[in-house]
Amino acid sequence: MLKAVIVEDEEAGRTTLQNYLNKYCPDVRIDALCDSVATGKTAIETYRPDIVFLDVEMPFGNGFDLLEQIEEINFETVFVTAYSEYAIKALNFSASYYILKPIDIDELIAAVDKIKVEKEKEDLASHSKILLDNIKNSNKQLHKIVLPLLDGFEVIQVKDIIYCKAEDNFTMFFLENGTKHLISRTLKYYEELLKDFDFVRTHKSYMINIHHVKRYKKGKGGILIMSNDSEVDVSAQRKNDVLKYF
């Protein structure tokens, strides 16, 4: 049985989520319903839940503010949010669980099931801690990103990514330590996620971290020599976009 706390400022939202969990997630026991950051903090410290369902935007502080006030985050967080580009990008970076309002029952069940499996395997990642570290860190290259793997996940810093290559509907990550990871997300997905972190698409098949570029060789589009001595193609259409960084 997973112990849960719901933190949501709107009574209708709390009631709806409570009813959905009671009906569709029988392995979840709700110990507290909270309407603010302050009451949420008290409930978390009192009940020590396995899951906190947390509204991102609330009066007098948001969900991130609440997490910053918890000394030890030893629970998983499912963020409940209306669409916000900033919030969704931050959550995707840390692989945190989130559900968009209005709540989709299938998404709710999927999030709970994933957390249940992780708990049974004693493999709970501190996604919320990674999220908070990223929010606090002004140096974007030091932000951490969670890469989902077939047998779990890997947490890496953005600065350690040299470049990414499209492999059909997958993306291959080439890291500074010489390792490679094939991730079941498209390059387009990671282009959107990393475009504000000094990454640029050089070609339909490549995206590079500009901090790992050693040299540019002229050509119709050209070729970039990366820090691991790999050669990355630059398409003629993207040449100007790439060169403006240098």
Would you give the distance in Å from CA 117 to the centre of its chain?
19
- Please state, in angstroms and rounded to a whole number, the distance separating the CA atoms of residues 191 and 164: 9
More confident residue, 82 or 220: 220
List the chain domain ranges. 2-134, 158-243
- pLDDT tens sequence across 104-145: 999 999 999 988 887 776 655 578 888 888 888 888 899 999
Residue 155: predicted pLDDT: 92
Does the reported pTM lie above 0.85?
A: no
- Comparing 81 with 53, which gets the higher pLDDT? 53
* 6 φ/ψ angles, rounded to the nearest 5 degrees: -105, 125
Q: How many CB atoms lie within 10 A of CB 242?
A: 22
CA distance readout (Å), 131 to 13, 44, 127, 134: 24, 18, 6, 5
Helix (H) or strand (E) holding 96: none
CATH 3.30.870.10 fits 158-243, yes or no: no
Residue 57 has pLDDT above 90, yes or no: no
Alpha-carbon span 111 to 128, nearest angstrom: 14
From 8-22, 53-67, 68-82, the region with the lowest mean pLDDT? 53-67
CA distance 136 to 121: 30
Query: Where does 2-134 sit in CATH, by number?
Result: 3.40.50.2300
Element holding 155 (H helix, E strand): strand 152-157
CA–CA distances in Å: residue 150 to residues 8, 153, 184, 194, 240: 34, 8, 9, 22, 37
pLDDT on residue 130: 86
SS3 of residue 198 by DSSP: coil
Q: The tokens of 62 are what?
A: 């948001």
Residues 18-22, mean pLDDT to the nearest whole number: 97
Mean pLDDT in the chain?
91
**pLDDT band, residue 82 (cuts 50/70/90):** confident
Is residue 94 predicted with pLDDT exceeding 60?
yes
pLDDT category, 201, cuts 50, 70, 90? very high
**If you average pLDDT over residues 27-56, what whole number do you get?**
95
